[in-house]
């Protein structure tokens, strides 16, 4: 390849393809020197002619001789600038030449690689062309080999089942502290899941042979019993989650991790069943069982601590309220300690709050149905304060429950209002009857008076003190109307 100047003149050298060994001997420095030399000689004759014409025009008269020193200085500066430009141009051209050489090396390497691949592909194509007539046979051989490999793996797994079963049984039957057993429980559960997957795969493979299925079922016979033992311990831990969260939170977390792992295994079993277009699928549903276990335990505990108290005669309101407050205090433990141990999707605090509230609503309804008309004033006040404090505690824990019990106290207050009115009328009647029998007394100012009105207004004041404790506006209003009617009847009795 010949390089020429912009005016068409030759640079005086050419670049040709050389072998890598020749390029190594020449080197980059010799190329750069050659480029600099040729750049200096480029178009020298034209430059000389132009310079001669320029000098002749400048010194055309005698007066121009005085300017020669200044002209020479300007030309020296211009010459220095030209030399710098030539140096830069030579450097750029050297870099371009270097890049071209590198690109040529890469092209050569690519060509050599393609040539090598061509030879390899030629041999493989010949092999493929030879094998094409035997495609069906090769396919059968491949499928047979793959099936044999799977069969060998399955056989190894089946052979290892008795040993694995014995190991699990030894762990479950091992004597020792419960903490050590709980620590080994996750590993046992993981082994049981692996055995269950082997069982499902083996039963699916043997679905056409009843004899093989019976043999496999016998071999895996203890698997379900081991699962029952593991799940029984998990439900014990979950039932006592409030206590476990305080004493052994790590054990509770591991039990919940086993539940989550089993849920993922259930989901995988469902997907496999869909892919197989039917077939047996066994899911254990441990998440739903865990929630149900917690609710059943809460119901049992509530019935034992509180529900049974409501059936005792006579009804001890103070004891019943005290036992209920202990259960509600457990919600604080659930909020602070139990909830962080459970996965968020369990919403475990909501489960506790909603279950306890439903049981509390049922308890209050039973009390009102059985005792609304016979409760003492003190018991009614205690119940109202109890319900108010209960909802205040739920609000402090940000528990959202319904219905709100403080909005449904009509029956309780009706019983209280009836008792209050009956009592006040009886008292006013007795006071009036006694007042009419007694002679009036004389005061310091000589006026006559009886003690009955004083006792009557003391009684009225006591009733307003009681209703103030309830803190309910409608109860105050109802009492005011009752007092008005009682006093009106008392006035009519005095005047009549």
Domain ranges of the chain: 2-128, 174-284, 297-408, 424-495
**Range from 33-47, 245-259, 367-381 that averages highest in pLDDT:** 245-259
Query: Of 13-27, 53-67, 196-210, 251-265, where does mean pLDDT reach its minimum?
Result: 13-27
Q: Give Cα 62 distance to the centre of its chain.
A: 100
Q: Decide: 184 and 168 in contact? Cβ < 8 Å.
A: no
- pLDDT at 468 exceeding the cut of 70: yes
- pLDDT at 377 exceeding the cut of 50: yes
Q: Which has the closest alpha carbon to 202: 164, 157, 149?
A: 157
Structure tokens at 421: 């009115």
Q: Decide: 206 and 182 in contact? Cβ < 8 Å.
A: no
- pLDDT at 6 exceeding the cut of 50: no
C-alpha–C-alpha distance, residues 251 and 184, integer Å: 11
Average pLDDT over residues 358-377: 83
Mean pLDDT, the chain, as a whole number? Answer: 79
The torsion of the CA quartet 111, 117, 120, 122, rounded to 10 degrees, works out to -80
The dihedral of CA 131, 134, 136, 141: what is its sign? negative
pLDDT for residue 207: 63
305-357 pLDDT per residue, tens: 998 888 887 888 899 999 999 999 999 999 999 999 999 999 999 999 999 99
C-alpha–C-alpha distance, residues 249 and 202, integer Å: 38
Average pLDDT over residues 166-195: 86
- pLDDT at 26 exceeding the cut of 60: no
Any idea what DSSP says for residue 132? G
């Amino acid at each position: 390849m010949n390089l020429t100047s912009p005016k068409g003149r030759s640079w005086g050298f050419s670049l040709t393809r050389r072998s890598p060994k020749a390029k190594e001997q020449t080197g980059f420095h010799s190329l750069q020197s050659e480029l600099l030399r040729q750049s200096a000689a480029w178009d020298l004759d034209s430059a000389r002619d132009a310079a001669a014409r320029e000098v002749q025009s400048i010194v055309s008269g005698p007066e121009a001789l005085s300017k020669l020193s200044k002209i020479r200085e300007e030309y020296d500066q211009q010459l220095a600038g030209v030399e710098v430009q030539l140096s830069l141009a030579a450097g750029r051209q050297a870099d371009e030449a270097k890049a071209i050489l590198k690109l040529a090396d890469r092209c050569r390497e690519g060509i050599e690689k393609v040539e090598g691949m061509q030879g390899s592909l030629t041999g493989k194509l010949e092999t493929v062309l030879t094998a094409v007539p035997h495609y069906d046979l090769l396919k059968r051989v491949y499928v047979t080999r793959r099936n044999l490999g799977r069969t060998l793996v399955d056989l190894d797994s089946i052979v290892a089942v008795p040993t694995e079963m014995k190991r699990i049984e030894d762990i479950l039957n091992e004597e020792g502290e419960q903490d050590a057993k709980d620590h080994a429980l996750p590993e046992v559960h993981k082994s049981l899941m692996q055995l269950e997957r082997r069982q499902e795969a083996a039963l699916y493979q043997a679905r056409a042979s009843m004899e093989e299925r019976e043999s496999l079922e016998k071999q895996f016979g203890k698997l379900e019993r081991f699962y029952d033992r593991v799940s029984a311990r998990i439900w014990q831990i979950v039932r006592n989650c409030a206590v476990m969260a305080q004493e052994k939170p790590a054990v509770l977390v591991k039990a919940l991790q086993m539940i989550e792992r089993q849920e993922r295994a259930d989901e995988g079993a469902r997907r496999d069943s869909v892919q197989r277009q039917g077939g047996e699928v066994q899911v254990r549903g441990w998440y739903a069982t865990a929630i149900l276990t917690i609710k059943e335990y809460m119901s049992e505990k509530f019935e034992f601590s509180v529900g049974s108290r409501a059936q005792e005669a006579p009804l001890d309101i103070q004891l019943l309220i005290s036992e209920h407050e202990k259960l509600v205090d457990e919600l604080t433990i659930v909020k602070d300690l139990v909830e962080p141990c459970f996965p968020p999707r369990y919403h475990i605090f909501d489960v506790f709050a909603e279950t306890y509230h439903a049981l509390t609503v049922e308890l209050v309804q039973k009390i009102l149905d059985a005792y609304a008309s016979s409760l003492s004033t003190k018991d009614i006040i205690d119940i109202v304060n109890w319900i108010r404090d209960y909802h205040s505690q739920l609000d402090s824990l940000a528990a959202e429950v319904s219905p709100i019990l403080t909005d449904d106290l009509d029956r309780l207050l009706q019983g209280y209002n009836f008792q209050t009115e009956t009592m006040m009328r009886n008292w006013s009647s007795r006071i009036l009857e006694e007042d009419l029998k007694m002679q009036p007394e004389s005061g310091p100012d000589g006026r006559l008076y009886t003690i009955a009105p004083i006792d009557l207004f003391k009684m009225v004041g006591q009733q307003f003190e009681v209703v103030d404790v309830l803190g309910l506006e409608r109860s105050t209003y109802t009492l005011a109307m009752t007092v008005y009617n009682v006093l009106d009847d008392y006035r009519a009795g005095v005047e009549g």
